[in-house]
Every structure is written in C-alpha cells, then in structure tokens.
Structure 1
Amino acid sequence: MTKTSDPPPAERTRRAVMLVRLRYAVEAVVAVALLSGAAWVLHREFSNVRLDEVIAEFGKLSNTGIALSVSFTVMSYMALLVYERLGIAYAHARVSPVRSSVGGFCAFVFSHNLGFALLTGGSARLRIYGPAGVSVAQIVLISGFTAWTFCLGAALVAGVSMFGEAERISRLIGGPPLVAHAAGAALLLGLVGYLVFGMRHRQVEWRGRRLTTPGPILTPLQIIVPAIDIALAGVALYVLLPGMPIGPLGFVGVYVVATSIGLASHIPGGLGVFEGAMVLMLPELPREPLLAAMLAYRLIYYLGPLAIATTLFAGASLRKSRYR
C-alpha cells in the first residue's frame, strides 16, 4: 500500500490563503445581507415616524430610567473586566488590576463600537499590555479567550430564552416556535458538553497550536460571568422602554438574540441590525418611544464609554511615549 505524501509547503500556503479569502468573502456577504435586511425592516417600520415626535419622546425619558440605565451599564462593564481577568489568568500573563481594568475597558469598548473584536480589542491590549511585558502570543490568547467567553454566555442566555420567548424569536428567524426550541436545546447541550470537556485539564490541537482547556475553575466562570454581563446590558435598555409587554428576564433573551445578530454582521456596534431585530421581536411597542429609548441606549452604553475609553487610551499612549 502506497502512502500518500503531504502537499508541498507552497500548495498548503495557497490553500490557506484561499480559505482566508473565502472566509472574508462569506463574512462580507453575511454583513451585506444582514444590513440590507435591517435597512428594509427599519424603512418599513419607521417610514411614517416623524423626527420631531422621536425628539419629543426622547425628552420624556425619565431621569430615574436614565440613572438606572447608567448604573446597569457600569455594572455590565465591571462584569466585562472580570472576564478580562479570567483571560489574563488563562494566558498566565502578569498584569496589574489597574492596567487590566484600563486595557480591558478600552478593548471591549472599541470592540463594541468598531466591530472585529479580535482586531480592535487585540490592538488596544497590545498598546496597553505590551509595555508590561505581555507577549503578542499572550495578547492573542487573551483576546481569543474573552471573545469565546462572551459567546458562551450569549449561548446560555439565548438557549434559555429560546424556550421562554420562542414565539417572539421565531418572528425573527422565520420559523415556528419548534425551531427556536430546537436551537435552544442545541445551544444548551453544546454548553453542557463544553463544561464537561473543559473542566478537566487537557491538551487540544487547534490550527496548529496546542492549547490547554481552562480547567475546573475557569470553565464554569466562562459561562456564568458573561451571562451576568449580558443580563445587565439588556436591563440597561429595558429600564428606558415604557410599557413593556414582557418582563426583564424575557426581554434579556430577546436582547441577546438581537445583539448576537448585530455582532455576526461585523457592522460597528451592530448599528441598524440590532435595531431591526428588536423591532421585529417587539411589535407591540409604539415606534417613537422604542426609537427614542434605543437612541438613548446607544448614547449610554456605546458612545459614553467610547469617549471615556478614547481618553484613557490616549493617556496610556502619551505615558508610553514619555517613557520612551
């Protein structure tokens, strides 16, 4: 029996380049499709909405709702910083809590607002963690760990919500509630499998790299902490909406589905895609108050932290230049 030889290095390189190009092409097609669908939904739902009415509704937002939204936003970002520390622990990097708070906050804010989390968040971490002696390989590991951690928390919240809010979610995915139930069951079973697999320390091969599973402490925290973060972020929007037809737990499920679709689009902040998904799943709400609340949420959860993160990042860069 003859043994087939491996393809030469040049051919393997060409294949790798073709796969990367194919992935980028697929991501671009998905982004255009989601953005086009969102634009159509927003045009259909908001074509009769007048700007002066939205501004009037914006002015009616209660001070209590705004204060609560800001509070939940702060708590959400604090949870994000917790799993930044989890990523640092997994990468065996030595970073002080103060530096990791600044680096993690900037990384997450830039990822939220600019998209492409591994690139934007990784660049921010490189700039802030690099002077502390953290290697590029460790920064890549931290960025990948935190991105995967968010996915695990989103899978938990979405999996549960696809049973509790299956009818609403089915309006978005275009199928019967049974489809949402099946998707929720698949997500939860996948999480159970990951939990069982990751609790024991194992060596796994991924893209030519040998990685270690997180172990018995980090693995459950990878699922629980981001779920708390997502719940807090969802409630930060919930408290701005008037007369909600569902409770906060059900709303968090709707929120995470819309957020996940926005992230999949790779559009900065999921702008337009997130709003379109929310409109489809909350048809009972009047359009003007809904749009005013989502605009306020954009200011509180996205643009406000972006201004703070930009200031912190600029200050860290200036200190680095001064040190040189």
Structure 2
Amino acid sequence: MSHSETQPATHADHPHKSRWSRWKKPLTMLFFLALIVLFTMLAQRIEWDEVFSNLADFKVRTLIIASGVTLVSFLVYACFDLIGRTYIRQDLTWKQILPVGIISYAFNLNLSAWVGGVAMRYRLYSRLGVSKGNIAKILGLSLATNWFGYMVIAGAVFTSGLVRMPPGWKLSTGALQGVGVLLLLVSAGYLVACQFSRRREWSIRGVEINLPSLRMAILQLALGALNWSLMAAVIFTLLPSKLDYPLVLGVLLISAIAGVITHIPAGLGVLEAVFVALLQHEASRGSLVAGLLAYRAIYFILPLLITVVMYLVVEAKAKSLRIAKKPK
C-alpha cells in the first residue's frame, strides 16, 4: 500500500462534509433562537393566573394516581434491561438490574441520553462486573425497545386519524397518517428480520450486535409501546377531563419527535409548545400548561430526586465493599 493510500482523509476529500461542518453551528444557533422566540411568544399568550389557579386545584387523589402510574412506567422501562440480561446471557438478578434501569431512566429524562442512558449505565453495570461490550449490547437493546415500541404505538395512533393537525400546519393529517403507515411497516420489518434473517450478527465499531429471537422482539415492542402509553396516561390524568386519552397519546408522540430533533434535555419547553399548539382548541392554554407543569414535577423532577439518593446508596455500598476487600 502506498503512502498516499494510508493518509487520513482531509476536508478536501469530503467537500460535502466540510460544507456541513461550516454550516452546522450557525444553523443550530438559528434553530435555538427560533425556539426561544417561539417559547417567549407562547409564554406571553398564557394567562399565568389561570395556570397557578389550576395547579392549586389539583386533588390529592389525582396526584397520587399520576404518581402511581409514573412508578409503573419506571418499572416497565427498567424491564428493558431485564430483556438485556437475557440477551447477553449474564447471571444478574432482577434486584441488581431494576435499580440500574430506574436510575438511568431518571437521569436520561432530565440530563440527556449521554448522561443517563450511556454514562450512568456504564458506571453502574461496570460495578456489577459486566464487560463494556455487554453494556453496549444492553444499551442498544434498550434503545431498540424504546423506539420500536414507539413506532408500533405511534404507527397505530397516527394511522387511525385520531390526531387532527391544525389548519395551516406544514404536516397535514393525511401526511401524519402516511407517517403512521411507514412506522408500522418498519416495526413489521424488524419482526420479519428477527424471524427470518439468516445473518444474525453484525460488528459496528467493534461492538457485536445480534438479532434477538422473534419472541424477544415481540416482548420489546410490547414493553416499549406500554411505556409510551403509561407516559401519556400520566399526562392524561393531569390534563382537563374533557380531553380524550388517544388524543393526548398522539400529541405526546408528536412532541417526542420534536424533543429528539431539538436535543434539549427533558424536551424543556418543546413538550409544552406542541401540546398548546395542538390542543388549545380543545382546552384553555392555562389548564394545559398547569397539567404539563404537574407532569414535569411528577414524572421528571420527583424521580430524579429519588434516584439521586438511590445512586448515592449504590456508590456508598460499592465503596464499603472496596474497603472491606483491601488487605489489612
């Protein structure tokens, strides 16, 4: 092989990549500025007295129900990692895995996927003696469970036409139904691949990826869809009673994509903007914002506070074990 063949690729070799690198930062800044303007305009149109009045009117029973559904949702998400235990065939107990899943989910929701989904899992599973390769497999399976579950539930809801897009939006109701059909086809394609694909293993950047069995894939889709349904149930419990659950679920699914695109931790402001834009003809802005603020407190902030304590306990136990193992 000649010297020129071994040289790393330069920007000249990839003009399109170089051009994108130059434009990526200013375009991202413009996008965030547009979001700030949007959220400022939204805040100015909201009657904050109504928001605070609705927050004060929440019944204790409603908050308890929302908290109970939140707990079930976190347990369901933690079960993604239980599937991962079977996937990597490692001898870990559910008592070891569930806390990792719950802690990771809370940090993921509030501090981004890199902190919660990746860094926290690597730290906690490393303490349990899981190799980096197997941690990567658990993480990959968890992501697949979440997003293929999303595709199933979103595909069903969007295709049904239960979510009607407001007039003037670039994405029409018919286009949303088309997106739903596409999501269902991708989900079905995943199941077909798991059942019939002859090639079961791939290696991406040194990480080995294996296709799960059809039974495991169906369990993935079921748990993923269930978790999205539970998230919507928490919001539904806290929003005005005249709203239908399928509509709330559909709007949550749309807002999730908007949150992923913006890369804002916890989708802060994006969730509220999408819900108000799509449901303001169904309920007052103040009641919608009040319900969503309560949702953030119950589904995001409260679990984070609890899991910070859980994490500190895990770290303390690990430290005590290290001290006990030191030779005297």
Q: TM-score, normalised by structure 1?
A: 0.86
| Structure 2 equivalent of residue 110 of structure 1 | 107
State the partner residue of 2:277: 280
Corresponding residue of 2:128: 132
Contact kept? 1:95, 1:129, Cα under 8 Å? no
Once the two structures are TM-superposed, the CA of residue 169 in structure 1 deviates from its matched residue by 4.2
Q: Quick one: which of 263, 266, 291 aligns to 1:266?
A: 263
- Following superposition, the deviation at residue 142 of structure 1 comes to 1.0
Residue type at the aligned position of 1:144: G
Shift of 1:174: 1.7
Question: Percent of aligned positions with the same letter in both sequences?
Answer: 23
Match of 1:196 among 183, 192, 196: 192
Q: What's the offset of the Cα at 1:131?
A: 2.2
For 2:306 and 2:188, how far apart are their aligned partners in 1?
38
For residue 211 of structure 1, report the CA deviation from its aligned partner. 2.1
Q: How far does the alpha carbon of each residue in 1:291-317 deviate from its partner, in whole angstroms, 9 at most, with x for none?
A: 111111001000010011111111111
> Deviation digits for residues 157-204 of structure 1, max 9, x if unmatched?
111121234653466962322211211111111111111001346324
For structure 2, the 5+ residue unaligned runs are 323-328
Q: CA deviation at 1:126?
A: 2.3
1:251-307 per-position Cα deviation (integer Å, ceiling 9, x unaligned): 212212212321332211000111111111112221111111111100100001001
2:183 is aligned with 1:158: no
Q: Which residue of 2 aligns with 1:297?
A: 295
User: Which letter maps to 1:110?
Assistant: F
Provide the alpha-carbon RMSD of the alignment. 3.1
Q: Which of 186-195 and 7-16 deviates more?
A: 7-16
Aligned runs of 1:60-209 on 2, under 5 Å? 60-115=57-112, 117-165=113-161, 168-169=164-165, 174-200=170-196, 202-209=199-206
CA distance in 2, matches of 1:95, 1:60: 45
Normalised TM-score (structure 2): 0.85
Aligned to 1:318, which of 310, 316, 319? 316
Confirm or deny: 8 A CA contact 1:263 1:269 kept in the other structure: no
Residue 57 of structure 1 corresponds to which residue in structure 2? 54
Query: Which is further off, 86-95 or 58-67?
Result: 86-95
Equivalent residue of 2:238, what SS?
coil
Aligned to 1:238: 236
Higher RCO, 1 vs 2 (CA within 8 Å, ≥6 residues apart): 1
* Contact 2:165/2:171 (8 A) holds in 1: no
> Does the aligned pair in 2 maintain the 1:166–1:177 contact within 8 Å?
no
Where structure 1 has 5 or more consecutive residues not aligned to the other structure, the ranges are none
Q: Using the alignment, how far apart are the partners of 2:302 and 2:58 within structure 1?
A: 17
**Distance in 2 of aligned mates of 1:31 and 1:141:** 34
Instruction: Please report how far the alpha carbon of residue 69 of structure 1 lies from its aligned counterpart in structure 2 after TM superposition.
Output: 0.8
Q: How far apart are 1:206 and its partner, in Å?
A: 4.8
- Aligned pair in 2 of structure 1 residues 211, 126: CA closer, same or farther (>3 Å)? closer
Secondary structure of the structure 1 residue equivalent to 2:183 = helix
AA matched with 2:233: V
Q: Is the CA contact 2:88–2:137 (under 8 Å) kept in the aligned structure 1?
A: yes
Bigger Rg, structure 1 or 2: 2
